[in-house]
Structure 1
Amino acid sequence: MPAISDDSASEADRMLAALVPRLRGTCAVDLAFAGPRDSGSTESITIRHLAGHLGHSLRHLRVQAGQGLGGKSLVLGRPVVAHDYFNARHIEHSYDHAVAPERIHAALAVPVRLHDTIIGVCYLAHRRNVTFGDRLVASATALVRRLERDLAVEYEVRRALRARAEADARDARLLGELREELEAVIALVTEPQARSRLRALSAGLREITDGGADPAGSPVRQETLSARELDVLRLVAKGASNNDIATALVLTPNTVKAYLRSVTRKLGATNRTHAVALARGNRLIE
């Protein structure tokens, strides 16, 4: 399995934390838990998030590929069910000592993917003699697939923002080099009118590379905000919540959060309210 970035791993961990209680409630199971892939590892996950647990025997349990129910799901890349967990012969039983205190009878493990890479495993379990039927497996898998779509969107937003930031940095660097060259040329010009015109040109380049400034002196450049970021910021200015913005712009709430993080970073804002104030002060929005 290929490596995943720290940002993607962190986002996956955060989303898994929110997914676990939803899995338990929607699928009406006794216990749900999940773990992201370990940083720097392609062969293990660590269980970090639980809902409905009796104790903490499963928390921080490291599951190796091929071992236990989740380890088999990690290797096969598909859901794996154990209807009678402790008597199941199709799985390896390295983690029975951690499973036993939870009195699990039947369990299901579902891998979580980002593109073609497995980045975590979700588990559902019953303490009663209940069978995981096709409908329940399909329901759990559908929730995981929704999480995967959100992760993919978040990944693409991060990738696009990173590419834009790199392009902006390259443009600013090139303009800065041009301005330095222009200043060197100005030093050689003695004719007053030509020197004045070159000075004005240099000042214009400085405005582009350095940007305007807010009252506190923080540089703000309108060109660094994309059209979509401005759309999000305008709705924030109207008092819309992240969910309202997501609905209005046909985005996921996680994508809205990603745009807001980018906006506050670019404007040098401390929060969304500060971002709106800076944007209005620099006439980026009404």
Structure 2
Amino acid sequence: METYTDTQLVSRAVADLSRQTRFPVVFGGLERDDGAVHVSAISGARTHSIEGLVVHAGRGLGGAAMIEKRPRLALEYRTARGITHDYDRAILGEGISTLLAVPIIVNGRSRGIVYCGSWTPGPVGDLVSRPAFRAADMVATELRVREEVERRVSAFAPSGAGLPAAAQEDLRESYAELRSIAASVSDAGLRDRIAAVERRLAAISRESSEPALTLEVSLSPRELDVLACCALGATNAEIATSLSLKEGTVKSYLQAAMAKLDASTRHAAVTKARRAGLLP
């Protein structure tokens, strides 16, 4: 499974934001073990003054944004009040006049900062700042999903014996929830990585004593989504609400999955999908 490192994740976000924003300078980083944010990606800078910048909580514009858990803007950075000026050498060294700092919030905690800067002062409205908010949200979503996936996979690590019934049921609920998360994520790469974890969960759940069923069947993502919910005993109406689909659409996906699996009931379809390793 391809997984972005923290540095790669921030680099991708900064590169995307640099193409989307009107700010000429974009940079950012994530919190490390020392509790400080280390700027690891820079785009558009004319000097090297920002390179290696380390921002501590409560210090500078970005540190204030982290503590307050909200974006902070300095239209005239050099004379800005309400912030410390610990990092003037880096910011003013680049010639930045207007600076926007957006914290990356994961589960209620600031985990990093995305900065946008310009060399001349100017108004910053919603349209100008919105790409920075999206970039911070993208990084936060990736981190949140990654950490939740790692937590759930570690909780179901194989112990050499079949999982207890309660753990098996919890795993199936986790799998169905991951399917729901993947359906709501717009980033194709992130969806692919979630799908790879789902396959690991399905493999973990299979008991060694149960013979695998060999089927040359390929279910669509939505057919798997519906079957995963069926495995939890959800009705068509409940599945439709969970997946933001119409009830008739759910029925169509379910019928298609049953036909592919040569199953006459939804229960039989779930059983065959489990034995084939398609579901946990």
Task: Please give the range of the TM-score, normalised by the shorter of the 2 chains.
Answer: 0.5 to 0.7
Cα pair 2:67 2:110 within 8 Å, conserved: no
Is the counterpart of residue 32 in structure 1 residue 22 in structure 2? no
Cα distance in 1 for partners of 2:78, 2:146 equals 38
Q: Who is 1:68 aligned against? A: 60
Give the C-alpha shift of residue 137 in structure 1: 2.6
Pairing partner for 1:148 from 133, 140, 147: 140
Aligned equivalent of 2:11, options 17, 41, 48? 17
- C-alpha displacement at 1:115, in angstroms? 0.8
Stretch moving more, 154-163 or 88-97: 154-163
2:161 to 165, 171, 184: 171
Map of 2:69 onto structure 1: 77
Larger Rg: 1
Question: What amino acid is aligned across from residue 51 of structure 1 in structure 2?
Answer: S
1:254 correspondence with 2:187: no
Size of the aligned set, in residue pairs, is: 196
SS at match of 1:111: strand
Q: For residue 128 of structure 1, give the secondary structure of its aligned residue in structure 2.
A: coil
CA distance in 1, matches of 2:143, 2:57: 22
> Could you list the runs of 5+ residues in structure 2 that have no partner in the other structure?
165-170, 204-212, 218-280
Q: Which amino acid aligns with 2:193?
A: K
Kept in 2: contact 1:154–1:254 (CA 8 A): no
RMSD: 3.6
Alpha carbons 1:157, 1:255 under 8 Å: kept: no
Match of 1:109, SS state, is: strand
| Residue equivalent to 1:100 | 92
The two structures have a TM-score, normalised by structure 1, of 0.58
**d(CA) in 2 for partners of 1:285 and 1:160?**
29
Shift of 1:262: 7.6
Displacement of 1:114 = 1.3
Q: Displacement of 1:71 after TM fit?
A: 1.2
Q: 1:204-223, CA deviations, whole angstroms, 9 ceiling, x for partnerless residues?
A: xxxxxxxxxxxxxxxxxxxx
Once the 2 structures are TM-superposed, how far is the Cα of residue 173 of structure 1 from its aligned partner?
9.8
| Aligned match of 1:126 | 118
- How far is the alpha carbon of 1:255 from its aligned partner? 3.9
Counterpart in the other structure of 2:207: none
User: Matched residues in 2 for 1:69 and 1:96: separation?
Assistant: 10
Q: Can you list the C-alpha shifts for 1:162-208, whole angstroms capped at 9, x where unaligned?
A: 2222xx2263699xxxxxxxxxxxxxxxxxxxxxxxxxxxxxxxxxx
Residues 258 and 128 of structure 1, relative CA distance in 2, 3 Å threshold? same
Q: Which of 85, 108, 115 is matched with 2:107 structurally?
A: 115
Q: Deviations over 1:3-25 (max 9, x none)?
A: xxxxx9x7544322111122222
Q: Which runs of 5+ in 1 are unaligned?
A: 1-7, 175-223, 233-245, 268-281
* 1:54 to 2:46 alignment: yes
